[in-house]
Amino acid sequence: MSRTSRRTHRCGELRAEYVGQRVRLGGWVHRRRDLGGIVFIDLRDRAGIVQVAVGPSAPEDVRRAAAGLSGETVVELEGEVVARPGNMRNPELATGEVEVHPSKLVVVGPAVTPAIPVARGKGEELPAEELRLKYRHLDLRRSEMQANLILRHRLLQRARRTLAELEFLEIETPILTKPTPEGARDYVVPSRVHPGEFYALPQSPQIYKQLLMVAGFDRYFQIARCFRDEDLRNDRQPEFTQIDLEASFIGVEDVLGFVEAVLVALWDEAGQRVARPFPRITWREAMERYGTDKPDLRYELAIADWTAQVGPLGVPFFDSALKNGARVRGLAVKGGAALSRKDVDQLAETAKQLGGSGLAWVKRQGEQISGSVGKHFTAAALGALGVGDGDVALLAVGPDRLTSPVLDRVRREVIRRLGAKPTAAHAFAWVVDFPLFEPDPESGKPVFAHHPFTSPHPDDLAGGKLDSDPFACRALHYDAVYNGNELGSGSIRIIDPAVQRRIFALLGLAPADAEARFGFLLHGLQAGAPPHGGFAIGFDRVVMLLADAGSLRDVIAFPKTTAARALFEGAPAPANPADLRALHIKVER
C-alpha cells in the first residue's frame, strides 16, 4: 500500500488502467525538459519514474513552479493521469503509456546542485567510487542501487520465512562480546566503567549459538552482523552479514539439507530455479582437480597428474624439481591452440608472481608441436595426456602448495580468455572433509582451518591421528560453493569437553588460557550438550551474485572502502580527548 496521508500512489506504479484518475504523488525531479510551451518532468521515487507534463493549460502557479525546478528537488503534486498519444509512448518505461497533468505542484524539498549526478544517459560512466561512497545518499537514489537494496530486502525476508518454516527460532546474540576466534583480529570496544577492560565485536555468533543448543533451543538462526579486522581485500568488508544457523540432534546431512533449502529459496526469490541436492566433492579432490577449495564447476577443465607420463624436459627448474620428487600437474586445454603467444606468456608470468616455479607449455596444431617444452613431446605422448589437435598442455611442477594456486589461477584465466562455454548456469557444490588444521605459514604449527569448535572426523579421532598426524586429520567441516564463489562454511561441533580441551592444547593454548577465554563454552559442554552443528551463509556475497553486482559495496547501503573507511560519515575518526580520558585510553602513535 503506497497510499499515505500525502500521496495516493508511487510515481513508478502508474499504468494505463489509472487513466482518468486523480492522483497525488511525491518524488524527486529526475530530469526536466523545457520545450518552450511545455515542461516535461520525470518524477522519480523508489517504484520508478513517471512523466509529468506541464502545458499551457496548466494553472499559472504550476507553470511557474515547473519552470524553476532543478534536478533532485522534491516535489509533491496533484493531477490527472492521462494517456500519452501513441507516438509519445515510451516502451522503455513501465509508466510509459501515461503521463500526469498536475493541477497543483509544490516544491517541498529544494535541493542544491547534486555533487554527483543521479540521472545518467545511456552508456554514461558512473562517477568514481570514492565519490559514490562519499555522496552515498545520491548514489543510493540511482535505480540500480535501489533495485539491489530492494532485492536484498526480499532475500532477507525469504531467508527468514524459509528458516521459520523449518522451525528455526530467530534469536539475537550480543554485539558487545568476548572474542570468538574465526581467524581474524577483533574489533575491540573499551569499557568506561571497567578501566582497562574491553569487549570484542563478534567475528561470528559461534559460541553463543552453540550455547543456545546447550540451552535446548534446538534450531536457531539469526541475520547476524559480524566484524573482522582483516587486511582488506577487494571482496571483503570489515562488517558483514551472515545468515547464521545452528541445529541440534542432527548430522552433516541435515545441516546440508537446511542450507540447501535456504539457498534454493533465495535463488528462487531472484527468479532462478536450481536443483538440489547439490553434488559433493571432498576437499582433497577439489584441491587435486581444481587447485582450490572453491572450484568453479561450470567448466569441465580439470588438473591432471602427469608425473608418470612426463620425464625430464631439459628445462633446469623443471628437471631439478622432478629429481626432488615433485609432481608434474597440468591442464589439457581443449581448443587451447587459440591462445596466443602473448596469452601464454602472461599466464606464465602470473604463475611466477604466485610464487610457482613457472609454467611450461606445449601447443599441438596439426603436425606442428610447439611451445616452451614442445620439442620434448611427440603427438602420441601428447595424445596420452589428452592433448589433441588444436589443444594446449600447460604444465607446472613443484609441491602442491605452489602448483595448486598456480593451476587454479591458470585454469580460470584460460576459461576466461577462451570464452569457454559453461556446461551449466548454476554450479552449486558442497566441499566436504576439510582438514582440521593447516600449517601456520611462518611457524609451521597447526592453526585451525575453520574454527576451534569444529569436530574432527570420527574415523580420524578414533584412529588417534589427532596426536600422531594432526595435519592428516579431517574435520566435519563443509563449505558451500557456487560458480567459483564460497557461499559459506559450517561444521559439526565438538561436544566432548575433553576433545575440545585437546584441540585447544594442539592449537597451543595453555589450559588456564583456554579456561579464561572459552570457559563459558567448556562449562556449557559439561552441562549436557546435544549433538549439534550449523552453518553461516555469507549474505552480502549471495546478494551480490543474485543482483549481478560488480562488488559487495553495491549491495550494502553504507559500506566501507577497501581501506576500511566509511567515506560518507568519515569513520574512523579521532575521538575527543575528554572521551578518551573517560575510557582510560591514551593514544600512542
Query: What residue ranges bind ligand ASP (CB under 6 A)?
Result: 182, 204, 206, 489-491, 534-536
For ligand ASP, the closer of residues 437 and 535 by Cβ is 535
Q: Coil, helix or strand for 185?
A: strand
For ligand ASP, the closer of residues 410 and 475 by Cβ is 475
For ligand ASP, the closer of residues 173 and 403 by Cβ is 173
For ligand ASP, the closer of residues 295 and 538 by Cβ is 538
**498-to-288, 463, 522, 546 alpha-carbon distances in Å:** 34, 16, 9, 43
CB 202 within 8 A of CB 240: no
Q: Which residues contact 555 (CB under 8 A, 6 or more apart)?
A: 148, 149, 151, 152, 540, 543, 544, 547, 549
The side-by-side arrangement of strands in the sheet containing 428-432 is: 169-170, 219-227, 239-248, 532-538, 485-492, 477-482, 428-432, 280-282
Compute the least distance from the CB of residue 450 to ligand ASP, in Å. 6
CA–CA separation, 492 vs 290, rounded Å? 26
Q: Report which of 32, 50, 48 is spatially closest to residue 40, judged by C-alpha positions.
A: 32
CB 378 within 8 A of CB 310: no
For ligand ASP, the closer of residues 66 and 536 by Cβ is 536
Compute the least distance from the CB of residue 183 to ligand ASP, in Å. 9
**478-to-225, 255, 429, 534 alpha-carbon distances in Å:** 21, 10, 10, 10
Compute the least distance from the CB of residue 489 to ligand ASP, in Å. 4
Q: Count CB-CB contacts under 10 A for residue 74.
A: 16
For ligand ASP, the closer of residues 209 and 363 by Cβ is 209
Compute the least distance from the CB of residue 534 to ligand ASP, in Å. 4
Compute the least distance from the CB of residue 388 to ligand ASP, in Å. 43
For ligand ASP, the closer of residues 204 and 372 by Cβ is 204
Q: Which residue has the cell 534536478?
A: 71
Phi-psi region of 317 (alpha: psi -120 to 50; beta: other; left: phi over 0): alpha
Compute the least distance from the CB of residue 258 to ligand ASP, in Å. 11
Compute the least distance from the CB of residue 332 to ligand ASP, in Å. 36
